[in-house]
Structure 1
């Protein structure tokens, strides 16, 4: 990789280049200094150069003498994590005084199970998932596992090894995994429905309506709405017409928004419980 070339996918972590490697590639110290000065290169720490397009999280991790890891690395790869407010860094260079950042930093010193290549600015996906399970509450950990498997960041064959490396108390999480979930909020709603003892199917295709996230007890459709796919009036018109078509078939539709699912789960769970109780009263 040259300093001006960009990876085709966020799945591939950028690698930093050393001064020696750049000199061997035809750069001079004067050109390096000029490129750093005008922003064509980033120099987060001595003897480490990165392209200018590298995300801020990666630059900060490199400046701290480490690699991006845990929820920060998974978020870079597009995997669902509940909270990204803290930067997670796996440290491998503690010989220098790191810069002070304006946000919280969680430092990881765990032994890596899969060693990244030289110059890597991120840990391997397996180690990032392993750390994210331990760093998050159980419901968020299940959502991360679902997302990592759904996106192919984690392979199903890795699950045996993954859970062998985790404390035994995490074994219960494996029974809750379902990589059919297409978003983190879907996983979180699925866990709510399980806790309510409801019978449900996921990713159900209904003739005249289309595919829906959940059908609960054969009558309640639950759709997990996010801003990314439901923010415009055109999106809302489409959704309401789908709900109207479902109502004509005898379905009731509930659309909790992703923000409430993630940060006000008790309210969403109460709404689900209320709908299921109302149906039960109607039958009696």
Structure 2
């Protein structure tokens, strides 16, 4: 068996599959002793480089899915403090994610969120993860609506899914989620941007995303053709040099007649009520002055 396939695809293989590929029983035991392979559960193995969340999903008896998988792939999720695992119908002898010798305790916070519904794309094979389409379907069911839209925006923006895939996702979801499809926008560069855009839509504003200005470049969004909003994260705006560049960009935008409002990504995520209040105040003041 090609070990590289484990590293790249996060595969899992049974003992029978490994032996069928030509590895001897003694060779398999040696690979486990050396740490090249890990016995996730009885007769199921993964490569040593497999991410911990994937290993734990296999140990339980399923495949990684939903927020756990998307987070691992770099797709925006608001929070993921529980392991999400898809379990095939009829599965039994589910084990603890931390100890393959112990049964899984249902309802335990140290357990996992189990997804039992049939997959939209059951690709089978040896993958230890569901496909991105099914992970996104599960993510809509497991998050608040606005966070689900941000996750879908992120997957589209990163090129992980297409517009046709998006239609398939909503076709597989209950009809009550259909309204969310109209809110998805692949231009959003980050989860916080999506969340602010949804706040502004709720206030009845017109929002343009990723608008280019001469001498400035692209800004995150322009609201009602007068307000520029930038969603700043610590990763790109923490140094004085970066802040100075921001001030200069804001000055140029002011010379074009635009006001600029910068919002910290941390506040968008964890103080949304205050952010919404600020946006409401700005919008109301502008409308009053007209």
**What residue in structure 1 maps to residue 46 of structure 2?**
50
Among residues 62, 73, 96, which one is paired with 1:99 in the alignment?
Answer: 96
Among residues 257, 261, 276, which one is paired with 1:250 in the alignment?
Answer: 257
**What residue in structure 2 maps to residue 278 of structure 1?**
285
Q: 1:227 to 1:40 in 2, by over 3 A?
A: farther
Normalised to the residue count of structure 2, the TM-score between the two structures is 0.87
**What residue in structure 2 maps to residue 70 of structure 1?**
66
- Residue 153 of structure 2 corresponds to residue 157 of structure 1: no
Among residues 203, 207, 211, which one is paired with 2:210 in the alignment?
Answer: 203
**What residue in structure 2 maps to residue 18 of structure 1?**
14
Q: 1:228 to 1:103 in 2, by over 3 A?
A: farther
- Residue 184 of structure 2 corresponds to residue 177 of structure 1: yes
**What residue in structure 2 maps to residue 224 of structure 1?**
231
The Cα of 1:175 is off from its aligned counterpart by: 1.4
The Cα of 1:222 is off from its aligned counterpart by: 0.6
8 A Cα contact 2:6 2:12, kept in partner: no
Provide the C-alpha distance between the structure 2 equivalents of 1:231 and 1:7, rounded to a whole number of angstroms: 34
Provide the C-alpha distance between the structure 1 equivalents of 2:161 and 2:223, rounded to a whole number of angstroms: 29
The Cα of 1:199 is off from its aligned counterpart by: 2.2
Provide the C-alpha distance between the structure 2 equivalents of 1:104 and 1:279, rounded to a whole number of angstroms: 50
Provide the C-alpha distance between the structure 1 equivalents of 2:5 and 2:97, rounded to a whole number of angstroms: 29
Provide the C-alpha distance between the structure 2 equivalents of 1:164 and 1:271, rounded to a whole number of angstroms: 37
Residue ranges of structure 1 left out of the alignment (5+ in a row): none
Normalised to the residue count of structure 1, the TM-score between the two structures is 0.89
The Cα of 1:4 is off from its aligned counterpart by: 4.8
Name which of structure 1's ranges 189-198 and 75-84 shifts more when overlaid on structure 2: 75-84
Q: 1:158 to 1:25 in 2, by over 3 A?
A: closer
Among residues 116, 119, 125, which one is paired with 1:118 in the alignment?
Answer: 125
- Residue 115 of structure 2 corresponds to residue 108 of structure 1: yes
The Cα of 1:117 is off from its aligned counterpart by: 2.7
Provide the C-alpha distance between the structure 1 equivalents of 2:241 and 2:48, rounded to a whole number of angstroms: 37
Provide the C-alpha distance between the structure 2 equivalents of 1:189 and 1:86, rounded to a whole number of angstroms: 26
8 A Cα contact 1:88 1:107, kept in partner: yes
The Cα of 1:237 is off from its aligned counterpart by: 2.8
The Cα of 1:43 is off from its aligned counterpart by: 1.7
Describe the SS at the equivalent of 1:255: strand
Residue ranges of structure 2 left out of the alignment (5+ in a row): 99-108
The Cα of 1:97 is off from its aligned counterpart by: 4.3
Among residues 259, 262, 273, which one is paired with 2:266 in the alignment?
Answer: 259
8 A Cα contact 1:3 1:50, kept in partner: no
